[in-house]
């Protein structure tokens, strides 16, 4: 449902074609809710079918032989946007493959565990840096989607628009920092296990072979 309501929120700032909307989405909401362009266009058609947006055909190209569709928020769409913001939702259930894998790293080696934690840390360091740059741009009010929102909103609402969006991304930055800390702690754990290894296992030897293979080798 977040894709639907994100599109409604973007259209609140003014009418846009599907292409323009996809580009605005890419430069704003995509930071917190990734969606392919192929998902956006069908959702726009569903929104039109529900009466939450209206569409107008516009000429396209220099010769105006083709048309494009410009979408606008309807009164029903504005009401749905307000309803959604006020609705209290349960957080989504946790589904994270990195944490599932971390629960069973004993089937790999110390080297493999290090590689997993290092890759995890690198990924979230990149995201942290990306979000921090985005927060700077939001504070400067320099992003295209934010400028569009501010231009369509009364001046009395500008500070709230910027502050809430900055707060959202700062929350994501804190999440990224927590993931980086967890990866560092994982690397420390690998080091501790290597130091306490009484069997003399090498860096590439698994801690534990899965049961069928273990029995096959007579362990």
pLDDT in tens, 93-113: 888 999 999 999 999 999 999
pLDDT score recorded for residue 198? 45
Instruction: Return the domain boundaries, the chain.
Output: 2-85, 97-198
Q: Rounded mean pLDDT of 52-65?
A: 79
Does 67 score more than 70 pLDDT? yes
Q: Rounded mean pLDDT of 69-79?
A: 95
Does 159 score more than 60 pLDDT? yes
Does 75 score more than 80 pLDDT? yes
Structural contact between residues 134 and 127, judged by C-beta atoms closer than 8 angstroms: no
Token pair for 167:
């707060």
- Name the percent of the chain lying above pLDDT 70: 90
Q: Rounded mean pLDDT of 31-54?
A: 88
Does 12 score more than 60 pLDDT? yes
pLDDT score recorded for residue 1? 60
Q: Rounded mean pLDDT of 38-61?
A: 89
Does 188 score more than 50 pLDDT? yes
CATH architecture of 2-85: Orthogonal Bundle (1.10)
Strands of the chain, DSSP E: 16-17, 53-60, 66-73
Query: Read out DSSP for 39-95?
Result: HHHHHHHHHHHTTSEEEEEEEESTT--EEEEEEEE-HHHHHHHHHHHH---PPPPP-
pLDDT score recorded for residue 182? 98
Rounded Cα distance between 27 and 21, Å, is 10
């Amino acid at each position: 449902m977040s894709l639907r309501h994100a599109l409604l929120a973007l259209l609140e700032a003014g009418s846009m074609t599907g292409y323009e909307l996809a580009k605005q989405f890419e430069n704003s909401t995509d930071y917190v809710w990734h969606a392919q362009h192929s998902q956006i266009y069908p959702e726009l058609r569903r929104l039109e079918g529900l009466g939450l947006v209206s569409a107008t055909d516009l000429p396209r190209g220099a010769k105006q032989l083709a048309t494009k569709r410009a979408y606008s928020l309807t009164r029903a769409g504005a009401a749905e946007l307000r309803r959604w913001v006020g609705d209290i939702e349960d957080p989504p259930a946790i589904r994270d493959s990195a944490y599932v894998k971390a629960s069973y790293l004993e089937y790999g080696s110390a080297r493999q565990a290090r590689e997993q934690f290092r890759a995890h840390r690198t990924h979230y360091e990149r995201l942290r840096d990306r979000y921090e740059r985005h927060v700077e741009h939001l504070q400067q009010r320099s992003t295209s989607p934010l400028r569009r929102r501010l231009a369509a909103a009364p001046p009395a609402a500008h500070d709230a628009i910027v502050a809430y969006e900055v707060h959202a991304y700062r929350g994501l930055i804190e999440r990224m920092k927590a993931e980086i800390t967890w990866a560092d702690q994982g690397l420390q754990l690998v080091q501790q296990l290597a130091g306490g290894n009484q069997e003399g296992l090498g860096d590439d030897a698994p801690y534990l072979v899965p049961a069928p293979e273990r029995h096959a080798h007579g362990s």
